[in-house]
Amino acid sequence: MNSNHHFEQDWGPEGHPSLEVLRGYQSERLSPEQNHLVERHLVSCELCSDLVEGMELAQAAKVYHAVKETRGRVKQYLDKKKRKPKFFVWSAWQTAAILLILLFCLALMVYHFYFAPTAPGKQNPQPKPQTSVEQNVSPASTIPPARQG
């Protein structure tokens, strides 16, 4: 009975046998005393009896395949989530909009520097008309005569 006492400790905190115990019961790997304890529990617990019945109806190969497929899907989903986003991910319309803005700015600069008329207040200064004094003065006459002496 000592082994049965230890066996009951393997059950869950709510007094239900673990899945390993139920699988052992289903595959007939338990001792007769342990088998009897599980059967007594199954008579009084509808949840565990439904679980054992479902385990008997489920085919092991199909369950294994379904579990493997589900794990694969979960792994793919997690791998997809772990990917780091690229630094610059722009769509085609965003790239086109930026290029149009840059071309507009370039065209505006070219127009401003080469083709735009000057503003009325900022016209280029007109050259001063030369006065009569400035006309009579030649560059040679501005040099002072050399001293002799």
In a domain, 95, yes or no: no
In a domain, 8, yes or no: yes
In a domain, 135, yes or no: no
CA dist 124 → 108, 116, 118, 130 (Å): 22, 14, 8, 18
Q: Could you tell me the two tokens for 121?
A: 């207040």
SS3 call for 139 = helix
Mean pLDDT score, 93-106 = 95
Domain hosting 64: range is 2-82
In a domain, 130, yes or no: no
In a domain, 10, yes or no: yes
In a domain, 63, yes or no: yes
Is residue 91 very low, low, confident or very high in pLDDT (cuts 50, 70, 90)?
Answer: confident
Tally Cβ neighbours within 10 Å of residue 71.
Answer: 10
**37-61 pLDDT per residue, tens:** 899 989 988 988 888 888 887 777 7
Apex 40 CA angle, 63 and 29, nearest 5 = 50
Smallest Cα–Cα separation from 17: which of 34, 32, 38? 38
Q: How many domains does the chain have?
A: 1
